[in-house]
Amino acid sequence: MTFISKHDQEDSSFDSSTMISVEKAQSVNECTSLIDRSTDEPDSPHLYPVDVGYRPWLTLFGATCGMLPTFGYLVAIGIFQDYYQNNQLRDYSPSQISWINSLDIFLTIFLAVIVGPIYDVVGPRPLIIPGTIIMTLGVMLTSISTQYYQFILTQGILTPIGSALVFHAAAPATSSWFVKYRATAFGIGHAGSALGGAIMPVIFNGIEPKFGFGWAVRGIGFFMFGLSLICCVFTKSRVPPPGFQKIDFTKTYIRPFSQKPFLLLTIAVFFVFFGAFIPVAFIPSHAVSRGFSRESASYLITIFNAVSILGRIIPGITADRLGRFNTYAVCSFLAGLFTLALWIPAENRPAIILYSVLFGFFSGASVSLFQACVADITPSPEIGARLGTISAVMAFAALAGGPVAGAIISANGDRYFGAAIFTAVVMIFGALMTLVAKFYATKGNLWALS
């Protein structure tokens, strides 16, 4: 089925079979998977065409620069978890410290429920500009923090507010420009976040030994500020924003869950995200417990995120050919499977490095491809709101994942096998629920390339 926006219905022509499909979907209140993705919206003389020309790629470049410092900061959390455990917050438990990073992850993702609908009516730039200022201020204040409550306020609350404004304006802007190559575009955009996660530990480890924690964090802050400015310049929505209008709470936040594909996909993403950030947070401290130096252990985050760049681009390209739901389910399943097969028995350097590589690749797809899946079952004018809604739900999983894993580790005498089992189980369950969502989206056709 192909969805078209109300705006395009008024400004362009389209075939009657597409119109019938849209009316049928609306009448039964069901969204089905897009099998023919060659067109998402009909061409309009008032809109730039999708998938062609330089404008989609300029927007993708800008969005990538926005995702690099925002989500990249989140996937570099392992360097802070380990550093705080051995420095400013050494009197606190791993579970208590993980609340700082979990709040960062939670708010960055959860605030999409607010930012998404605002994006739908104002476009990206009015969100990116204040977001850049708030995010940079949060990082700079983190650099002078010394107490637990200060890290909670600066790194756990202020920084993610700014990051959410930038990130959730950049992602849906990309979606509006791509249809046939939508998963590829999302993969490239999210590769920016992985690249940021790979670069930030290098910045931190290069500055901290010589100039201390404060300047190391400020160096990361300047890096994030510069990239966000580039995002502001190049990121533009294809569909002109309609301006402020009253938000129908029921239609925006409640009605999507009456559609089984969206409800089941939300459940799937919730469980995938429940486990996806646990290894990111605890791989360095696990490596230290197995004989790594603290500096070499922090570079595991760089390895993890460097490989995750490929894990966001290659599965994205594959998803545009073999199906977005299919690829998301397989990658989430393999991320859980390799956690069971490698993280639990990992006792030496090669095994730990290999796990960082494999989990980095497959989890990279797990945290990026869901957006393409949502876009496949969502009318174009509602993409920002739908992404915000599903992000708000999965944010609670990301919030709980770190503290739950930290509590499991503490309860098992600082051993990591329990956290590994928990990670694997929730991610594999999320993969299976993705297939159930696909079953309903395709009316039972599990062989469909969706």
- Report which of residues 180 and 49 the model is more confident about: 180
In the chain the domains, ranked by start, together with CATH numbers, are: 53-243+250-441 (1.20.1250.20)
Going by pLDDT thresholds of 50, 70 and 90, the confidence category of residue 266 is very high
Q: Give the pLDDT score at 22.
A: 37
Q: What is the mean pLDDT of residues 338-355?
A: 86
Q: Give the pLDDT score at 178.
A: 80
* pLDDT over threshold 60, residue 399: yes
Report the chain's mean pLDDT, rounded to a whole number.
Answer: 81
* pLDDT over threshold 60, residue 442: yes
Tell me which range, 148-162, 377-391, 395-409, is most confidently predicted by mean pLDDT: 148-162
Provide CB contacts within 8 A for 423, sequence distance 6+. Answer: 275, 278, 279, 336, 339, 343, 405
Residue 358: Cβ within 10 Å count: 21
Q: What is the mean pLDDT of residues 428-444?
A: 90
d(Cα 80, Cα 66) in Å, to the nearest integer?
21
Q: What is the mean pLDDT of residues 368-380?
A: 81
pLDDT tens column, 155-213: 999 999 999 999 888 877 877 788 777 778 878 887 888 888 888 988 998 999 899 99
- Report which of residues 77 and 201 the model is more confident about: 201
* pLDDT over threshold 80, residue 355: yes
